[in-house]
Copies of this chain bind each other. A is one copy, B any other.
Amino acid sequence: MNVRFYNARILTMAEGLRVRAGELWVRGSEIVHVGLEEDEEEPLSWDREIDVQGNLLMPGFKDAHTHSAMTFLRSYADDLPLKQWLEEKVFPMEALLSPEDIYELCRLAILEYLTSGITANFDMYLEPEAMARASVDCGFRTVICGAVNDFTQSVEKEEQYYRRYNHFHELISYRLGFHGEYTTSREILEGIASLAEKYKAPVYTHLAETEEEVKGCLERNRKTPAVYLDSLGMFTYGGGGFHCVHMTERDLRILKERGVWAVTNPASNLKLASGLAPLAEMDRRGIGLAIGTDGPASNNCLDMFREMFLATGLAKLREQDAAAMDADRILSMATVGGAGAMGLSACDILEPGKKADLIILDLHQPNMQPMNNITKNIVYSGSKQNVKLTMVNGRILYEEGSFYIGTEPEEIYEKANRIIRRLRQEKRSF
């Protein structure tokens, strides 16, 4: 499809947070032109010309940490202490999921990503085949994160996955990863570190999410998780830590030195009472930062607008400084930062040669008025309600409240409801 967006305000993210009027052309999956109308030459034959009506065209958000298939547990068990929630509610239900269930539940999550202007996710869960199929079938972009631990998958499988899902489809890639230090034996961790060495690849994991996790690691290894993992050579080629809430001075130095990204998950950290990540401190040190929703069982929604407000708000609270982590920095984390953390360098900004992963935000809404500052309006006042269009890899997947993913949403909702009903019954019959 060749699509021309005209009469737009464009935030390319290539020149800071500058917004300018202009148009943008998409040919196939790529952006081929961004500029003022006068720049036009060799116009393509358009399949569609979209009048953006002065609204904002910008790069799609990148959800840099999630567990999509956990949609089935949304509001199934909330307002419970973490341990009880995991052991009584989450684990027994997850054990009952089939790959086909995971496929359907990922599709439900993809619908929601699209409503929030999210054009790619970094998804840690089981059954990469089902995850990859769900994304490819919907036209969505997914970076799958290895999820090995003592109970599921293995180093061998991780290597197979790594080789397979980096050559599966242009929408899919795969990064080495493991669930967390507290769920993974030293032997497996060493195996992953050798894979990192073998493929000169970054490694991603849950890192210092809770105080207990850090305490446990100190007891087991006499080191904090970051120090312990680094001592195994895990981060020789960089990688990322999800959450990074309880970090020591030395942990932070390791992230900086190894080029390890910190992916913050503020809504989940609030809802599970995990704590406040030292976001401003990490930013001051020049650690790469990105934002994730975490899974819908612990959030419970997949909404980058909520995460952005929380990321800045919680940083302000932690620093006791209303000037901490300004809105423009946060907007950059949610787009360019996410792309960096996920290794999606072709999807970060709007310029010729980049993938057409972009969104239109409706500025003709009361929450975006007056237009004192468009980018601050997005972070402090934006909502899913402002998302008019979401395009991934040159395909419009969501527009004016309708989905174009090859299936009716009602069919996906019905399947998700059927899955959770079945699982409840199976769980009872144990």
Chain A residues with CB under 8 Å of chain B are 71-76, 78-82, 85, 108-109, 111-112, 115, 267, 269-273, 275-276, 296, 299-303, 305-306, 309-310, 312-314, 316-317, 319-324, 326-327, 364-367, 369-373, 376-377, 380-385, 387, 409-410, 412-413, 416-417, 419-420
Contact = CB atoms under 8 A, between A and B. Distances in A.
Contact of A369 (B85, B108, B276): B108
A372 B300 CA distance: 12
Contact of A273 (B111, B269, B316, B366): B316
Contacts of A272: 316, 322
Given A81-B323, A111-B366, A74 B301 contact: no
A164 B379 CA distance: 40
Contacts of A324: 79, 273
Nearest to A275: B317
B417 A267 contact: no
B112 A367 contact: yes
A301 to B, nearest CB: 4
29 contacts: A71-B369, A74-B372, A75-B373, A76-B372, A78-B327, A79-B322, A79-B376, A80-B322, A108-B366, A270-B310, A270-B313, A271-B312, A271-B322, A272-B316, A273-B316, A273-B317, A273-B319, A273-B320, A300-B377, A301-B381, A306-B306, A306-B309, A366-B413, A369-B413, A369-B416, A370-B413, A370-B416, A384-B385, A385-B387
Given A321-B273, A385-B385, A115 B365 contact: yes
